[in-house]
Amino acid sequence: MYYNKVEICGINTSKLTVLKEKEKIELLKRIRQGDQKARQEMINGNLRLVLSVVQKFTNRGENLDDLFQVGCIGLIKAIDNFDPNQNVRFSTYGVPMIIGEIRRHLRDNNSVRVSRSLRDLAYKAMQAKEALINRNSKEPTVEEIAKEMGAKKEDVVLALEAIVEPMSLYDPVYSDGGDTIYVMDQIGDKNSESDWMDEIVFREAMKNLGDREKQILSLRFFGGKTQMEVAKEIGISQAQVSRLEKGALDWVKKHI
């Protein structure tokens, strides 16, 4: 089932209701009073939100009907836990919940089908990385590896991610005085979730961060740079970038 067709999970997406923010708040208040009809209206009125998130996962070889159903679970959790008295739009709260549910599904049901060409590219990337380390006596960036191979940075990232278990991206690769750097910190995020998280979540929340934290998040998530590249640009260590980024993200999560 392809996302540009009008039906997903048997639902004609062209006829989905779109609620105004004021309508959502009223429904949420009724839900808090135990109104099950309002809860169903709220779910139906936000299915387009689920669809917009699911469409961002179209190139991962997953069944979109399954992802849509999983996304709906995230939507329901968001509806049940959202506080309408907070000065936050429901979509700002709901989108990360939907994303989180889908990502947990992908992680827990990891049946990675890596093509031979992708696996070959990953092995070439690891060989290039080893050669660069031997030549320069330092850890190369993804961009440097891609340049060494004559490949696109995005293709290298995709290949390396495809041959590892998803949770391995959270494995520590370096620790300095309590500041741990993880595998995922080595990879830029330019073509992942930034385009849409940018619009829905980060932009508003980042306004209240300090200048350095804003700069780090902008470079990392909107500029597609690795932590090492950010560290070089602003003149601090990668461990410091990691610590400041983590603190900024923790703050954003608490205020969205």
In this structure, are 209 and 122 located in the same domain?
no
Q: Structural domain tally of the chain?
A: 3
Q: What tens digit of pLDDT does each residue of 78-87 get?
A: 998 888 887 7
In this structure, are 20 and 100 located in the same domain?
yes
In this structure, are 33 and 74 located in the same domain?
yes
Residue 65 belongs to a domain: yes
| Top-confidence residue, 139 or 200 | 139
- Domain of 56, CATH number, reads 1.20.120.1810
Q: What value does the mean pLDDT take over residues 14-36?
A: 85
Check whether 190 has a pLDDT greater than 60: no
Instruction: For residue 48, give its domain range.
Output: 7-108
Mean pLDDT of the chain: 76
Q: What value does the mean pLDDT take over residues 151-163?
A: 78
In this structure, are 222 and 145 located in the same domain?
no
Q: Is 142 exposed, middle or buried (0-12, 13-18, 19+ CB in 10 A)?
A: buried
Check whether 108 has a pLDDT greater than 80: no
- Quote the pLDDT of residue 202: 59
Beta bridge partners of 7: 12
In this structure, are 157 and 176 located in the same domain?
no
In this structure, are 213 and 120 located in the same domain?
no
Pick from 147, 163, 179: which residue ends a domain? 163
In this structure, are 230 and 193 located in the same domain?
yes
In this structure, are 152 and 199 located in the same domain?
no
- Quote the pLDDT of residue 2: 34
In this structure, are 101 and 128 located in the same domain?
no
In this structure, are 177 and 250 located in the same domain?
yes
| Top-confidence residue, 37 or 166 | 37
In this structure, are 188 and 152 located in the same domain?
no
- Quote the pLDDT of residue 139: 82
Residue 2 belongs to a domain: no
Q: Is 26 exposed, middle or buried (0-12, 13-18, 19+ CB in 10 A)?
A: middle
Residue 1 belongs to a domain: no
- Domain of 146, CATH number, reads 1.10.10.10
Pick from 85, 108, 131: which residue ends a domain? 108
Helix pair angle (142-149, 116-136), 10° resolution: 110
Cα distance between residue 34 and residue 18, in whole Å = 22
Q: What tens digit of pLDDT does each residue of 128-149 get?
A: 888 898 889 888 888 899 999 9
Residues 6+ apart with CB under 8 A from 19: 27, 42, 45, 46
Pick from 124, 147, 163: which residue ends a domain? 163
Q: HSE on the CB side for 170, CA within 13 Å?
A: 3
Residue 144 belongs to a domain: yes
In this structure, are 183 and 251 located in the same domain?
yes
Q: Which two tokens stand for residue 21?
A: 């923010």
Residue 237 belongs to a domain: yes
- Quote the pLDDT of residue 38: 92
